[in-house]
Amino acid sequence: MTTLKRILFVRFVLPAVVGIIFLYGAMMIFMNIRYKNNVLERFKQDLPMISRVIFSQNGFFRPMENRGRMHRPPEPWRRNIGMVLRDREGNVILRYPSGLDPEKAKKINETAFLDKDTGRTLDYYLVNRNFLTPVETAFMRQLWLFATGVVLLLSVLYLFVVVRFSRKILRQSHENAGEVSRLARGDYDLHLQIPYEELAPFKEGLEKMAAELREQERAKRSFMTNLSHDMKTPLTIIRGIVEGMKDRVFPPGEERYDELLEEVSLMDTYIDRIKRYDRAGELGKGESILKPVVLSFQKRYRPLMEITLDVPEKLSVPLKQAELETVLDNLLSNAYRYNSKKKKICHISASRRGTSLRMTVEDNGDGVPPEERERIFEKFYRGDKARHSDGSGLGLSLVKDIITESGGTIRAGESDYGTLLEIIF
C-alpha cells in the first residue's frame, strides 16, 4: 500500500525541487546572456572612437621597435574581439588576431567603418563568447553565488514548510483514524480534526454516518429492551395460570389450555418481530386503532385481573401497534404486580377533545406516593414497594421514551382508588 509520505514526496516535494533547479538554471543562463549582450552593446558604442584611433595609425598596427611584435589594439579593447582592415578594393590589409577567419567569426558591426581619406574599411568580429574583463567575470561569479544562495534558502524554506505541513496532515490523519476506529467499538461521538474547507464534506459524511449508526444502535437497544418487557407479560400470565391450576384455583380444562396456547403464540409473535427487525429495523412513525389492542389485553389478563374499558371504536393513537402493545403491556403488568388486593381491577379510558387525545390507565392497587410520581419514570428507579418485586426499573422509563418520541406526555395523577397514569397526545 502506498503511504501518504511517499505520495507527498513524489507528487509535491520532488517536482517542486526539480522545478526550482530548472528555474534556477534557466534564470542564470538568461542573466548571463543578457549581461553579455549589454556589455557587447556598450562596446559597440565605443567602436567609432576605436576606428578613428586605428585609422590615425595609418591603418595598421606598426611593429614595436626592437621587439618584433605588433602593438595591441587601443583601449577600450576587449579580449576575443578581432578586426579586419581592408583597402579601397576590399583586400585584407590587417587581421587581428592574425588567425581570424571572417567567414567563421560573428560580425559585430552591421556596416563597415569607412576612412574617407584613404577609403579603407574596418569590420569587427567576435572571436569567442568569453569577452568579459576580469572585473566583469568576478561580478558574474558573485551574482551566481548570490543567486545560488537565494535559491538554496528558498528551497530549504519550501522543504521546511512542506515537511511541517505534511507532518500536520499525517498527525491529523492518525488522530482521525483513531476517531473513526472508535466506530467499530460502538462509540459514535466523533471529534474529527479537519480544518480544511475542501475536506468538510468528508467530515460531514462521517459525522452523519456516526449519527445514523448511533440512532440505529439506540433504536436497536430500545427495541430489544421493549421486547424483553413485552415477553414478561405472557410469561407472567402463563405462570399465573399454571400456579392457579397447581393451587386448584383454576380448574384444568380447554379454556385454560387455550389461554396458555394464546400466550405461547404471542411469544412466537415477539420472536418473529425480532427476525423482522433484524431484516428491516423498527424505525418510523405510525398510527394504531386503540380498541382492538386493549381488547386483546383484556382477554389475556382475564385470569389475573379484571380490566374494564371506556374506549371509542375508531379512536387511533399516534403509535405503531408494537409500540402501543409495549406501552399497555408495561402499564398493565405494573397494575397487576403492584396490587396487593385479592381482586385486582384496572380501568382503561380514552377520549379526544379537539386535536388533543387523552388516555388513562387507573387501577385499585397500592398507589404511588406524591413524592415519587415524578421519579417513577426515571430509568432504574424503583420505589419502596417496587424494591420487593422482581422488576428492573426500566418499564415506565421505556413507556415515557416511546410516548415522548411520538410527541406525547405521561404523568402519574391523583386517584381515589390506587394508581392513575395519564397519557396525552
Could you give the CA distance from residue 365 to residue 39 in angstroms, rounded to a whole number?
115
Query: Which of 117-121, 229-233, 349-353 has the lowest average pLDDT?
Result: 229-233
Query: Which of 63-67, 261-265, 272-276 has the lowest average pLDDT?
Result: 63-67
The residue among 283, 315, 335 that closes a domain is 283
* Residue 409 Cα distances to 361, 402, 404, angstroms: 14, 10, 6
- Clarify whether residues 277 and 290 are in a common domain: no
Q: What is the pLDDT of residue 370?
A: 85
- Clarify whether residues 12 and 71 are in a common domain: yes
In a domain, 312, yes or no: yes
Q: What is the pLDDT of residue 358?
A: 93
- Clarify whether residues 50 and 160 are in a common domain: yes
In a domain, 354, yes or no: yes
Residues of the chain above pLDDT 90, percent: 11
- Clarify whether residues 242 and 220 are in a common domain: yes
In a domain, 193, yes or no: no
Q: What is the pLDDT of residue 97?
A: 85
Does pLDDT of 182 surpass 80? no
In a domain, 203, yes or no: no
Give the range of the structural domain holding residue 267, as residue numbers without chain letter: 215-283
- Clarify whether residues 269 and 297 are in a common domain: no
- Clarify whether residues 69 and 123 are in a common domain: yes
Could you give the CA distance from residue 89 to residue 120 in angstroms, rounded to a whole number?
9
How many domains does the chain fold into? Answer: 3
- Clarify whether residues 146 and 39 are in a common domain: yes
Strands 356-363 and 419-424, by their bridges, are antiparallel
In a domain, 199, yes or no: no
- Clarify whether residues 273 and 414 are in a common domain: no
Does pLDDT of 258 surpass 90? no
Average pLDDT across the chain, whole number: 79
The phi and psi torsions of 77 (rounded to 5 degrees) equal -90, 155
pLDDT band at 125 (very low <50, low <70, confident <90, very high): very high
- Clarify whether residues 106 and 221 are in a common domain: no
Q: Which of 1-5, 18-22, 56-60, 265-269 has the highest mean pLDDT?
A: 18-22
Could you give the CA distance from residue 297 to residue 74 in angstroms, rounded to a whole number?
127
Per residue in 306-353, pLDDT tens?
Answer: 999 999 988 999 988 888 888 888 888 888 888 888 889 999 999 988
Looking up residue 401, the CATH number of its domain turns out to be 3.30.565.10
The residue among 242, 268, 283 that closes a domain is 283
Per residue in 140-151, pLDDT tens?
Answer: 889 888 888 888
Query: Which of 19-28, 43-52, 227-236 has the lowest average pLDDT?
Result: 227-236
Can you tell me the mean pLDDT for 257-284? Answer: 64
Q: Cα torsion for 37, 39, 44, 45, to the nearest 10°?
A: 130
Q: What is the pLDDT of residue 350?
A: 93
- Clarify whether residues 151 and 298 are in a common domain: no
Residues with Cβ < 8 Å from 74, sequence gap 6 or more? 50, 53, 54
- Clarify whether residues 349 and 226 are in a common domain: no
In a domain, 194, yes or no: no
Could you give the CA distance from residue 378 to residue 240 in angstroms, rounded to a whole number?
28
Type of residue found at 86: R
In a domain, 206, yes or no: no
Query: Which of 180-189, 237-246, 372-381 has the lowest average pLDDT?
Result: 180-189
The residue among 256, 283, 310 that closes a domain is 283
pLDDT band at 279 (very low <50, low <70, confident <90, very high): very low
Looking up residue 267, the CATH number of its domain turns out to be 1.10.287
- Clarify whether residues 58 and 116 are in a common domain: yes
pLDDT band at 62 (very low <50, low <70, confident <90, very high): very low
DSSP string, 185-243: TT----------GGGHHHHHHHHHHHHHHHHHHHHHHHHHHHHHHHHHHHHHHHHHHHH
Q: Do 293 and 321 touch, CB atoms closer than 8 A?
A: yes
Cell of 381: 428507579
Per residue in 356-410, pLDDT tens?
Answer: 999 999 998 888 888 888 888 877 666 555 444 544 566 788 888 888 888 899 9
In a domain, 303, yes or no: yes
Residues of the chain above pLDDT 70, percent: 83
Does pLDDT of 304 surpass 90? no
